[in-house]
């Protein structure tokens, strides 16, 4: 916050207007025994430039911004042009917190409409909402929506879904006393269709799978969708890396009923893992529309026939009886949804695909090189986009990561931090921002670290 500019004379004038002799007198209602006396043990005030310099010093101390990073696992460092941040400051978007009054919030409402259109095209399904909190809550809300639509209770969750997303789903279902069955993956780390098919029964409401899987592998979901639908259940997908959908079939193309995802890679830099913006789309069916969580922006015309935008659906506990609400998420991630909309608009379809092709080519180049190093073995044979796993022998994952840190490189995620059953694996993500020199540097650092 900026410093308050009141002079001593102005303060005295305000106190006189309310009949108080001093600022301390404002707290006369608090018993003297409950009031703090003395000076707080905090630094004295300083100028704004000095304060900003100190915050920058602390930020540099706490971040790995100066390191070469290959972290991914649901939070990816793609390029976000400075123009995105600049456009976010446009006054047209500074409307009320919630755009209940369309006549004064057309800028925000149109941005939401454009966001929904992008999400619909991206996920390959016609109905999209105005965003969720993040990819994890979007996945959990997709599961809940499927349970309402099928009027069944049991949930199947493939372990190819991000471990933290699975935890959110488990927590939500546990609080409602509902069963959640987690299904192991194949040796390639993708969902095991045969194992899921064996568990399908007339009490199964939904199956949740990752696309791509946690660990990077990708699978054609059509056979799974066919099996799930034959059992009367619904298929929900979760996508942590939206750029993958530029080179792979969308969930809608593979007959997924509800597609969810994380928009952070298209909206902002990782920023210690957040913030995120949840993506949510589903089939064009009235029953689906009525059960969608969050809010939906619609296009209409005013009395003069001019195009305009309004909130079409907001079946939340703020508006209707709590037991009839489709979600307890009361808002949408407006700032990040806007950021993603601007970024995708700047890329265009050609730029979006070109960026994805760069990620794909660089990741495959790096995987091939690392796979030739002694003590490193690539994991899985399934197709992958920009993220892959390697098994580390020799000194082990933790020692390799620590050694790489000392050389200014974050080599990826030690998978054991999120999945203890694979504590010998390293998960490596590549984006268009990595140069050939960056990739070769990681190879040298890993070779040295495990030598």
pLDDT along the chain (451 residues), means of 10: 74 94 91 88 83 86 78 96 91 69 82 96 97 95 96 97 97 92 96 98 97 96 98 98 97 98 96 88 94 90 91 65 68 87 96 97 98 95 97 92 94 94 95 97 94 70
68-79+348-449 folds as 3.90.1150
Q: 363 with 387: CB under 8 angstroms?
A: yes
Nearest to 128 by CA among 120, 139, 138: 120
Q: Beta-carbon neighbour count of residue 395 at 10 Å?
A: 14
Domain with CATH 3.90.1150.10 in the chain: 68-79+348-449
Strands 376-378 and 387-392: antiparallel
**94-97 long-range CB contacts below 8 Å, 24 or more apart?**
97/331
243/359 Cα distance (integer angstroms): 9
Q: What pLDDT does 55 receive? A: 87
Query: CA-based diameter of the chain, in Å?
Result: 80
pTM: 0.86
| Strand, helix or coil for residue 334 | helix
Question: Rounded distance, CA 149 to CA 407, Å?
Answer: 53
Separation of alpha carbons 268 and 249, rounded Å = 24
Burial of 97 (0-12, 13-18, 19+ CB in 10 A): exposed
pLDDT 10s digits, 110-124: 999 999 999 999 999
Sign of CA dihedral 166, 168, 170, 172: negative
The closest of 238, 261, 251, 284 to 340, measured between CA atoms, is 261
> What are the pLDDT digits (tens) for 57-112?
888 776 566 789 999 999 999 999 999 999 988 877 766 567 777 777 788 889 99
- Could you list the beta-strand ranges (E) of 290-358: 296-301, 307-313
Query: Residue 42 and residue 58: Cα distance in Å, rounded?
Result: 16
Give, rounded to a whole angstrom, the gap between the first and last alpha carbons of the chain: 51
Contacts of 75 (CB under 8 A, 6+ apart): 264, 265, 270, 273, 274, 276
CATH of domain 82-343: 3.40.640.10
Output DSSP code: residue 294: S
Q: Enumerate residues 6+ apart whose C-beta is below 8 A from 323.
A: none
Task: State the span(s) of the chain assigned CATH 3.40.640.10.
Answer: 82-343
Rounded to whole angstroms, the Cα distance separating 200 from 321 reads 34
Neighbours of 138 (CB within 10 A): 33
* Cα distance between residue 235 and residue 257, in whole Å: 5
Provide CB contacts within 8 A for 311, sequence distance 6+: 99, 100, 102, 109, 295, 296, 297, 298
Instruction: Determine the Cα–Cα distance for residues 195 and 301; give it in Å rounded to an integer.
Output: 50
Residue-level pLDDT at 12: 94
Burial of residue 373 (number of CB atoms within 10 Å: 0-12, 13-18, 19+) = middle
Among 372, 386, 399, residue whose Cα is nearest residue 427: 386
CA torsion sign for 220, 224, 226, 229 is negative
């Amino acid at each position: 916050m900026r410093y308050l500019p009141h002079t001593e004379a102005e303060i005295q004038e305000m106190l006189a207007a309310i009949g108080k002799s001093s600022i301390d007198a404002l707290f006369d209602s608090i018993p003297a025994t409950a009031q703090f006396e003395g000076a707080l043990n905090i630094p004295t005030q300083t100028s704004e430039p000095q304060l900003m310099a100190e915050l920058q010093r602390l930020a540099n101390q706490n971040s790995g911004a100066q390191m070469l990073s290959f972290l991914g696992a649901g939070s990816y460092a793609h390029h976000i042009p400075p123009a995105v941040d600049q456009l976010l400051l446009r006054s047209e978007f500074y409307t009320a917190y919630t755009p209940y009054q369309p006549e004064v919030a057309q800028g925000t409402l149109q941005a939401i409409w454009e966001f929904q259109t992008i999400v619909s095209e991206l996920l390959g399904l016609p109905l999209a909402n105005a965003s969720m909190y993040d990819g994890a809550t979007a996945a959990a809300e997709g599961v809940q929506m499927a349970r309402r639509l099928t009027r069944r209770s049991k949930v199947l969750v493939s372990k190819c879904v991000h471990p933290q997303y699975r935890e959110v789903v488990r927590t939500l279902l546990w609080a409602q006393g509902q069963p959640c069955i987690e299904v192991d993956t194949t040796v390639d780390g993708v969902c095991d269709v045969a194992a899921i098919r064996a568990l399908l029964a007339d009490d199964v409401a939904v199956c949740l799978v990752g696309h791509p899987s946690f660990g990077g592998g990708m699978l054609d979901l059509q056979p799974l969708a066919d099996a799930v639908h034959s059992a009367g259940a619904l298929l929900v997908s979760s996508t942590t890396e939206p750029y993958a959908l530029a080179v792979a079939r969308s969930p809608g193309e593979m007959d997924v009923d509800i597609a969810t995802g994380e928009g952070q890679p298209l909206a902002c830099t990782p920023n210690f893992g957040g913030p995120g913006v949840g993506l949510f789309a589903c089939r064009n069916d009235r029953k689906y529309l009525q059960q969608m969580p969050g809010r939906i922006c619609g296009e209409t015309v005013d009395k003069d026939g001019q195009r305009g935008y309004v909130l079409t659906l907001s079946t939340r506990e703020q508006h209707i009886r709590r037991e009839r609400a489709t979600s307890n998420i009361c808002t949408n991630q407006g700032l990040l949804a806007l950021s993603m909309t601007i970024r995708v608009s700047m890329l265009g379809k050609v730029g979006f695909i070109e960026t994805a092709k760069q990620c794909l080519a660089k990741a495959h180049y790096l995987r091939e090189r690392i796979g030739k190093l002694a003590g490193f073995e690539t994991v899985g044979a399934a197709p992958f986009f920009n993220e892959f796993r390697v098994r580390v022998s020799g000194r082990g994952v933790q020692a390799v990561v620590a050694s790489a840190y000392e050389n200014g490189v974050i080599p990826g995620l030690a998978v054991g931090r999120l999945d203890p059953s694979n504590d010998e694996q390293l998960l490596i993500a590549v984006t268009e921002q990595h140069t050939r020199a960056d990739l070769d540097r990681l190879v040298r650092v890993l070779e040295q670290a495990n030598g």
